[in-house]
Amino acid sequence: MLSEIFNPNPTVFLSPASSSRQRQLSAAKKSLWMMTDDSSDGSEEMDAEEGEEEEIDQDEIFDLIRNICDPEHPTTTLEELHVVSASQIFIGGSNNKPNTVKVEFTPTVPHCGASTYIGLSIRVRLIRSLPTRFKLDIAVKPGSHQSEHAVNKQLNDKERVAAALENPALVKMIETCLTGRE
């Protein structure tokens, strides 16, 4: 996928058991976005119709990004490489409305050249999945990358992100990371 491999032999960890939310969705064969089981009384639909904002927690965010594949190793997920974890996701905001999502990720090596691709993949997945009221902050975990400041600046600059997403080769790489092993 990349012309240069920065970590040719990464440590791959076994994926822990799926989160309880993911197990519930799989068992009931529900859509992530819609309640489809027969026991639903329609109250969830009523809340959505009344314009109430549904709260999102760190497990839901983690479920969205855990299966993104690594750009250097397309058969391995970010979760399996311990690049992302639920404990690295922070949700906050004002007036008890959590409208900011911060995701920290840990590159497998301090000189990882794929860090910007990983961060862009996370940003694109969240942009596509979350309501527009959320502000996203994607960052390398402090102290985990030699160019941490530069990578974070690139990942959180709207103009740089927009320019990157106009590059067809880069978009193709991100799409490959997002679709992964499906």
Query: pLDDT at position 26, please?
Result: 44
Are 134 and 144 spatial neighbours (Cβ–Cβ below 8 Å)?
no
Q: Does pLDDT of 176 surpass 70? A: yes
Q: Which residue has the higher pLDDT, 47 or 142?
A: 142
Q: Which domains does the chain have, with CATH numbers?
A: 17-52 (no CATH), 55-179 (3.30.300.130)
Of 85, 71, 182, 175, residue with least CA distance to 118:
71
Query: pLDDT at position 2, please?
Result: 57
What is the mean pLDDT of the segment spanning 52-66?
87
Are 114 and 71 spatial neighbours (Cβ–Cβ below 8 Å)?
yes
Q: Does pLDDT of 5 surpass 90? A: no
List of E strands, the chain: 89-94, 97-105, 135-140
Are 66 and 16 spatial neighbours (Cβ–Cβ below 8 Å)?
no
In sequence order, the 6+-apart residues with CB closer than 8 A to the CB of 19 are 59, 62, 63, 86
Give one word for 96, left, alpha or beta, with left for phi > 0 and alpha for psi -120 to 50. Answer: left
pLDDT digits (tens, 9 = 90+) for 61-93: 999 999 999 999 889 999 999 999 999 999 987
Are 118 and 71 spatial neighbours (Cβ–Cβ below 8 Å)?
yes
Q: Does pLDDT of 22 surpass 50? A: no
pLDDT digits (tens, 9 = 90+) for 97-119: 668 999 999 998 999 889 999 99
Query: pLDDT at position 93, please?
Result: 73
Query: pLDDT at position 30, please?
Result: 39
Of 103, 122, 174, 110, residue with least CA distance to 148:
110
If pLDDT is split at 50, 70 and 90, which confidence band does 56 have? confident
